[in-house]
Structure 1
Amino acid sequence: LICPYILGSLWKKKVFNIDFWIGAILLMSIFHIVSGTGTFGRVFLVKDKKTRGFFALKAMKIPDVIRLKQEQHVHNEKEVLTEVNHPFLVRLFWTHHDDRFLYMLMEYVNGGELFSYLRSRGRFSNSTGMFYSAEIVCAIEYLHSKEIVYRDLKPENILLDNEGHIRLTDFGFAKKLSERTWTLCGTPEYLAPEVIQSKGHGRAVDWWALGILIFEMLAGYPPFFDDNPFGIYQKILAGKLEFPRHLDFYVKDLIKKFLVIDRARRLGNMKNGADDVKKHRWFKSVDWDSVPCRKLKPPIVPKVSHEGDTSNFDTYPEDEWKKDTPVPAKDLEIFKDF
């Protein structure tokens, strides 16, 4: 077993039970620790001994999931990922739990986070931002067609594959919706006004977040920021936008139409849904039939030497793992179907 580093932050979770894998379920072997530290889980790169294929193993510490009241989010994530199948969404292959941890085996996307490329470049060009936005529009359109709201769109949750196409990851806040939901969740800079105001929210929050993301990709910073979350929320509710001078006229118009306080008038959430977004003048040059077929040429092609390459993720020193006591049977009942 080789465990030299904790890398990056594919998913912001914590802790892993290595004894479980010594038992060789699925004949997987721990090859490298892939990603990151966070609230209650970690994601590891694992290698199948038989096929030699690489996968990302998300491991979540059951006591912390319960303590932080994340049980429903964990179940939502499994439900959503089990249902979806799209070229721009990360795939889930298998789930399991023992008496300490929950496990989710997913595809390993080795190009790194869009966040890292954005930070290294400062900001993206108009054409680069348009490429990523087009693929994200198709991903959101697909999720919404399944009555699923994503609720966590941000550069850290967008991975690039070895060709440079996107994969949305971390579906911990995703949820199958019939009408509205009231859970306050997400990243402060990306929260829609209706989430902050606890008015109940739906799929419109994803189009608001796309407006924030496009602004951040092209400006290098989000439109609403402050030293503390409450300051951010005040600016979001005030809705005052100040664009950098270099932004294209049409993209500024698109962002304004996404960042509309009234969700009934928000682009993407009106009668024609995603078609209204696709017909916007900023996307005039995009062949929408080619986008989900991955035929658009990616502006950034990650440097990847092999399938299990981890060089596109940041490294962190590995801390010590403590062997936790088994979870009581009554607590495990919560995850009996996981």
Structure 2
Amino acid sequence: DVLEETHYTDGDYIIRQGATGDTFFIISEGQVRNDDNSDKQVKTLTKGDWFGEQALKGECFSLSTRNIRFCEPAFVRTLLCLTLRSFKQLIGGLEDVNNKQHDSDEVKAKLQAEADFFSQVSLSDFNIICTLGMGGFSRVELVQLKNDPNRSFALKVLKKRHILDTSQQGHILSERCIMMEAHSPFIIRLYRTFRDSKYLYMLLEACLGGELWTLLRDRGSFDDGTTRFYTGCVVEALAFLHSRGIIYRDLKPENIILDPRGYAKLVDFGFAKKVGLGKKTWTFCGTPEYVAPEIILNKGHDSSADCWSLGILVFELLSGSPPFSGSDPMKTYNIILRGIDMIEFPKKITKSAANLIKRLCRDNPSERLGNQKNGVKDIQKHKWFEGFNWDGLRQGTINPPFTPAVDGPLDSSNFDYFPEDTEDPPPDEESGWDLEF
């Protein structure tokens, strides 16, 4: 993302003897050699070779005791260049990324007790109360534990035949794997999965405060303080995922849900993927208004695509609608590719909020806030978050801007009404791909 192309013709000098430099070079096209006639051991470098790597280890220094220049005639040749400044801005502090956050013994004990409890329950231990939501591949039911009426959960029900017909097996198994390990207060918990001949089931934490999208729809837009709180919750969730090499890829108000206190959590990990730290993926997915330009252009994307989507989310929460929107997805994508600087910001978006949005939505992923050497700390330290109590957010001690009205564990009044599912899908007689579920 930070490499820049430079072009040379035959005989052009790249480095002159004794010069100091701060740039690392990779040969993209052509041949380069040390131009020193007195040395019979001259080495010719070709495509894929490099020189000047010492420049990335410290400050500027003498790169060569020889001249280095292109030696092929009659063609323009290409080098890829990386300066020390760009390297430090993007990579600096990478050695800290692999410092894993170890759970305390108390947390480990709690998680183990939880796992032991849920390993003993079965589908027959629950009563279905009502439907909380519907998606393209599933519906979510509010269920009650029969032997403990005060405990309720959300049961995501997926039709196996529909998953097979749309070739979503990989996404479903990835969603399960990621969510089972996502122990963050800002990500909805997955406790257990089940399966039978027709359905797959995911037993989830019940957050009965409703979708953030519903609250935004009813209010039109949020003020700075309200948006800052919900954005802070999302930043914490993304920080957890990104530190583990996971990208979310479907950030939008519909996928943010409120717990009874009013704290926000990410839900629906159907597009999430574990790619590893510093690696990219090329799957085209996401909601059109929130898709980053590198996904549209099929350049490969990583966690920086979530930083872009975070900027879109802040804009939508503050204004009531996303900045990029067309009458169909292709028109939306074309508007996105024009860039955030072509968008006129409403007056209700303050100067510091606009600055945050624009820095999150830079076209070049390497320039995005949250995707540089300090990671999400750069977002948390932005002027728009000045004075925000991050420790209080993590500890759950600050008051949310909105407290949902939730009258007990079976109250679904914060969700829209959905009719019962009357379709009876055929059983899956395939090869048993869901055995891992």
Q: Give TM-score scaled by structure 2 length.
A: 0.70
Q: Does the aligned pair in 1 maintain the 2:130–2:142 contact within 8 Å?
A: yes
Report the alpha carbon displacement of residue 25 of structure 1 after superposing the two structures with TM.
Answer: 2.6
Q: Which amino acid aligns with 1:121?
A: R
Contact 1:30 1:47 in 2 (8 A): yes
Aligned pairs for 1:174-213 (under 5 A) are: 174-178=272-276, 179-213=279-313
Asked if 1:80 is matched to 2:166, the reply is no
What code does the residue aligned with 2:358 have?
A: K
**Bigger relative contact order (CA 8 A; separation at least 6):** 1
CA-based RMSD: 1.3
Is 1:214 equivalent to 2:329 in the alignment? no
Correspondence 1:40 to 2:137: yes
Q: Which moved more, 1:311-320 or 1:272-281?
A: 311-320
Q: How many residues align?
A: 312
State the shift of 1:336 in Å.
1.1
The CA deviation at 1:242 is 1.3
Which 10-residue stretch deviates more, 41-50 or 312-321?
312-321
2-side partners of 1:40 and 1:157: how far apart? 15
Distance 1:74 1:107 in 2: 18
Runs of 4+ aligned structure 1 residues displaced above 3 Å come to: none
Match for residue 274 of structure 1 among 368, 376, 388: 376
TM-score (norm: length of structure 1): 0.90
Give the aligned partner of residue 77 of structure 2.
none
1:307 to 389, 409, 412: 409
SS in 1 for 2:393: coil
Cα offset, 1:27, TM superposition = 4.1
Q: Which amino acid aligns with 1:151?
A: R
Query: Which is richer in strand?
Result: 2
**Cα separation, 2, equivalents of 1:107 and 1:94:** 10
Determine if contact 2:249/2:271 at 8 Å carries over to the other structure.
yes
Q: Quick one: which amino acid aligns to residue 267 of structure 1?
A: L
Maintained 8 Å contact 1:28/1:46:
no
> Distance in 2 between the 1:43 and 1:28 partners?
17
Deviation at 1:234? 0.4
Aligned partners of 1:57, 1:174: CA distance in 2, in Å?
A: 19
Distance 1:258 1:125 in 2: 19
**C-alpha spacing 1:57/1:144, structure 2 compared with 1 (3 Å):** same
Q: How does 1:14-29 map to 2 (within 5 A)?
A: 25-29=122-126
**Contact between 1:26 and 1:48, CA under 8 Å: does it hold in 2?**
no
Per-residue deviation at 1:30? 2.7
Letter in 2 for 1:146: R
Instruction: Give the residue type in structure 2 aligned to 1:210.
Output: L
Instruction: Give the aligned residue type for 2:300.
Output: G
- Give ranges in structure 1 of 5+ residues lacking alignment: 1-23
C-alpha deviation, 1:31, in angstroms: 3.1
- Is the CA contact 2:233–2:265 (under 8 Å) kept in the aligned structure 1? no
Which of residues 172, 179, 191 is equivalent to 2:270? 172
Q: Is the 8 A contact 2:132 2:412 kept in 1?
A: no
2:335 paired residue number: 235
CA drift of 1:36 comes to 2.6
| Percent of aligned pairs with the same amino acid | 43
- The aligned residue for residue 326 of structure 1 is 427
Distance between the aligned counterparts of 1:310 and 1:221, measured in 2? 26
Q: CA deviation at 1:290?
A: 1.7
**Structure 2, gaps ≥5 residues long:** 1-120
